[in-house]
Amino acid sequence: MTGGLGWLAARAYKPLFSQYLEYIVPAPLPLPLPPVARHRRLGAYFCGMKQPLVLAVALVLCLPIVGCSTTYSDQVSFLDGDRFYRANIHTSPTRITAVDGESTFLRENPVRVEPGEHVVRVVTAPTAGFTVAEARELKLNIEPCSRYFIVAERDNRLLQDWRPVVDHVAPSGGKRCP
């Protein structure tokens, strides 16, 4: 039973050791900062006459980014990679990676799409024993104000081969959708 109280002894000596550590390894001395750096650190740089100039430069730099944002019509549709019918064991969820050759965001689900004909690239997780996920393309005629649930359908849960299938189409309920 000699080793049972070792943790108690280590905890009792820890405060003493930390007190002596300050004498062994001295803390680095802070170097004096030049006056300009001290003011910037305290936030004085953004006060006074320079504040309108900084705001104007930031506004001019942000305008091109705002102009490049994508606008959608009122009758937008959605592509969803989740399963609508979860009871079917031969389907698995997908991830929409591109629409008409344009990549989507990493965690974007559902993906917004304008109505019309589109080529959608989807990926699903590989089955057990495989490490590489294979992408498939699906040509869809997308109706306005609809949500498309796209799943991967396999003949057998152990096979790597799969095909993209529209599992369900539901109304999306946008601003001007019926």
pLDDT digits (tens, 9 = 90+) for 83-133: 888 888 889 999 999 999 998 887 788 899 999 999 999 999 998 888 888
Is residue 15 very low, low, confident or very high in pLDDT (cuts 50, 70, 90)? low
Residue with tokens 């003493």: 16
H/E stretch holding 11 reads helix 6-24
Is residue 69 very low, low, confident or very high in pLDDT (cuts 50, 70, 90)? very low
HSE-CB of 71 using CA atoms within 13 angstroms: 5
Mean pLDDT of the chain: 76
Is-above-0.85 flag for pTM? no
pLDDT digits (tens, 9 = 90+) for 129-174: 888 888 999 999 999 889 999 999 999 888 889 999 999 999 887 6
Average pLDDT over residues 14-32: 58
Is residue 149 within 8 A of residue 171, CB to CB? The reply is: no
Is residue 67 very low, low, confident or very high in pLDDT (cuts 50, 70, 90)? very low
How far apart are alpha carbons 55 and 48 in whole angstroms? 12
Q: What is the pLDDT of residue 124?
A: 92
